[in-house]
Amino acid sequence: MSRRVAIVGGATTPFGVRPTTWSELAQEVGAALFRAVPALRAEDVDSLFVGSAEPERFAFQSHVAPLAAEQMGLRPHRILQRTELACASGQSAIRSAYAAIAAGLSDVAVAVGVEKMNLPSMAEANSSMGCVMDRAWDGPHGATAPPFFAMVAQRHMLEHGTTTEALARVSEKNHRFANTNPTAQFYAKTFSSEKLLGLPVVAPPLRLGDCSSMTDGAAAVVVAGEEFVRRFTDRPAWIRGTGQYSDFHNLAHAGSLTQWPGLTRAAGEALGRANLTIQDIDFAEIHDCFTISEIVEYEALGLCPPGEGGSYALEGRSDLGGDIVINPRGGLLGCGHPLGATGIAQAVEVFQQFAGVVPAARQVPDPRFALVHNLSGSANVHSVMVYEGGGGR
Amino acid sequence: MSEPAPPGRKRPRVTVAPAPPTSVPSERPRPKVVVAPSPPFLLDFFPLQGAGQTRLSRFYDRLKEGRVSTTCCPRDGEVHWPPRVACPICHGEELEWIDLPEHGRIYAFSAVLGGAPLGMEADVPFAVGLVDLAGSPLRLFGRIVGRPWTALKIGDEVRLESYPLADGRSFYRFRAVG
């Protein structure tokens, strides 16, 4: 059996349209991390994994791993690398830290995600988002995420009768949770379903409130091998399982659009490694880059039968008091989506939920198991991790 | 609603300013200055298409003849999209070119009403969709022109066509018919 690994602390910068550079975000999150984990000393951190999707495009900066180390005041001496998997770059950093520590190559690592997305030219930022797709074949047609996920919504509505009200219900829930999260981009903004249904259409049938935002932000966690965990916390988040699946890349191979078998496989792998089923999970942070994504994810995760994700949302079964709490942090819809930071910020939420330190309005009662999911690109890759709280294995 | 203009753009032809006359004309050829188009290469989604830039230049040559084609593998019969230089099934590199069917039907579509990439802002609003090609296993993604997005429906018939960019390159798209 491999060495046990846990997240022992973490911190998130404020997310939003920030008057900061990529490097300043890295400094901010370093300062926040050392405040949040008082026992952490820079010399303890032997390795650093930096999740950042497009610093070359958004910040004209490459070789970001040593830059992040310097900004955060770290001098890693075992493993230093950047992880890039578009929208899942942050979770990739955690998975790499986990793998290194489980293998005995690292003892205490930091996984950090940093993304600066808001540029003076929105069109240039949109091009940066477009090059996540197959740029030579899908890109010239104007493919970016909104029209792709809009087609998913269109097919889901056609095949299953899913309504715009169901989409709005997902957005309303996640924005309501974000109102409890001071680091969320939309912390101070309230969105009723009626208000969401009146916002402008971005890519039909998706409206502005169905889409996550272009966001600047950073988040970091400390990941430690079992002998080092108690140095930092008595409420760790143990990593119990991980799974990924890469299904396709060019949009020609996107299949039905409404079924995401890659997520079913990735979650099955991660849950299987933890000897758990989805019914054991108390709360999940899943990738609501668009409202329709969360609805398809309910189905692919097996929370409800295929086609019933819309009613699952409308019935409140993914809300506090329902079957499972989905996205108590506020999701990508409420918190914003700084690509490389999102997966780390989700893990910070998992750690804080287990530690019982989030505001009562979003605290899941006595959570034991949590699942984190990121999709990347056009839902062509799915990445899943399973965590266990408390002192248990 | 008018049809979106072809999203091509002119590549400026830049020449070196003539040297002031001197008593001894230089025998050396004038240096060839290569400048980036606007937007620069790495912000231009339309790919470089020449034989010096891609092994798939035949695809683009055929586009100029009005033919949208792809590769298929003679060993395992796999029809590829996009065209390839090596088969993903058998990894053979001896591939053949076939023309794609001209007709297809819309499987799903949406429209870009805002947030267009650089160089495509003037095309907004424009429709994009996934199209099942008739008699083919392929479902292609592309721009849909010829009808406003508000008048499109799933199942509508479209025709696959090539079109010229302003700088001499070509690309493909779908046109609503009927």
A208-245: per-residue pLDDT in tens? 999 999 999 999 999 999 999 999 999 999 999 999 99
H or E stretch at A308: none
- Report pLDDT for B1: 39
Give first-to-last CA distance, chain A, whole Å. 12
Is the fold of A5-120+215-237 the same as that of A138-213+240-388? Answer: yes
B20, B142 in Cβ contact below 8 A? no
Class of domain B101-178 as given by CATH: mainly beta
B38, B9 in Cβ contact below 8 A? yes
Q: Is A158 left (phi over 0), alpha (psi -120 to 50) or beta?
A: alpha
Q: How confident is the model at residue A2 (pLDDT cuts 50, 70, 90)?
A: confident
**Active-site amino acid positions of A:** 87, 337
H or E stretch at A381: strand A381-388
Smallest Cβ–Cβ distance between B46 and the set A140, A202, A203 belongs to A140
Question: pLDDT over 70 for what percent of chain A?
Answer: 99
- Report pLDDT for B42: 86
| A44: number of Cβ within 10 Å | 18
What is the Cα–Cα distance from A330 to A322, expressed in whole angstroms? Answer: 16
- Domain ranges for chain B: 47-99, 101-178
User: Given the structure tokens 């009200």, which residue do they identify?
Assistant: A165
Query: What's the complex ipTM?
Result: 0.96
CATH of domain A5-120+215-237: 3.40.47.10
Strands A79-83 and A206-207 turn out to be unpaired
Query: What are A149-201's pLDDT values in tens digits?
Result: 999 999 999 999 999 999 999 999 999 999 999 999 999 999 999 999 999 99
Instruction: Catalogue the E-assigned strands of chain B.
Output: 69-72, 96-99, 103-112, 126-133, 139-145, 157-164, 170-176
How far off is chain B from A73, nearest CA to CA, in Å? Answer: 33
Q: Is the pLDDT of residue A86 over 50?
A: yes
Q: Is the pLDDT of residue A274 over 90?
A: yes
Asked if A130 has any chain B CB less than 8 Å from its own CB, the reply is yes
Asked if A256 has any chain B CB less than 8 Å from its own CB, the reply is no
- Domain ranges for chain A: 5-120+215-237, 138-213+240-388
What phi, psi does A336 have (nearest 5°)? 90, 170
Q: Number of Cβ pairs closer than 8 Å across A and B?
A: 115
How far off is chain B from A34, nearest CA to CA, in Å? Answer: 38
- Report pLDDT for B105: 98
Could A252 and B112 be called an inter-chain contact, meaning their C-beta atoms sit closer than 8 Å? no
Question: Chain A contacts of B128, Cβ < 8 Å?
Answer: 141-143, 147
Query: What are B4-45's pLDDT values in tens digits?
Result: 444 444 444 544 554 444 444 455 555 565 554 567 888 999
Smallest Cβ–Cβ distance between A158 and the set B113, B126, B154 belongs to B154
- R_g of chain A, CA atoms, integer Å: 19
What is the Cα–Cα distance from B20 to B36, expressed in whole angstroms? Answer: 26
Could A257 and B130 be called an inter-chain contact, meaning their C-beta atoms sit closer than 8 Å? yes
Least CA distance to B119: which residue of chain A? A123
H or E stretch at A325: strand A325-326
Q: Is A293 helix (H, G, I), strand (E, B) or coil?
A: helix
Model confidence, pTM: 0.93
Could B108 and A135 be called an inter-chain contact, meaning their C-beta atoms sit closer than 8 Å? no
Could A141 and B149 be called an inter-chain contact, meaning their C-beta atoms sit closer than 8 Å? no
- Report pLDDT for B41: 85
Could B114 and A202 be called an inter-chain contact, meaning their C-beta atoms sit closer than 8 Å? yes
What is the Cα–Cα distance from A67 to A80, expressed in whole angstroms? Answer: 11
Encoding tokens for residue A376?
A: 């990347």
What phi, psi does A244 have (nearest 5°)? -140, 155
CATH architecture classification, A138-213+240-388:
3-Layer(aba) Sandwich (3.40)
Spatial neighbors of A337 by CB under 8 A, at least 6 apart, are A87, A212, A213, A214, A215, A289
- Report pLDDT for B28: 59
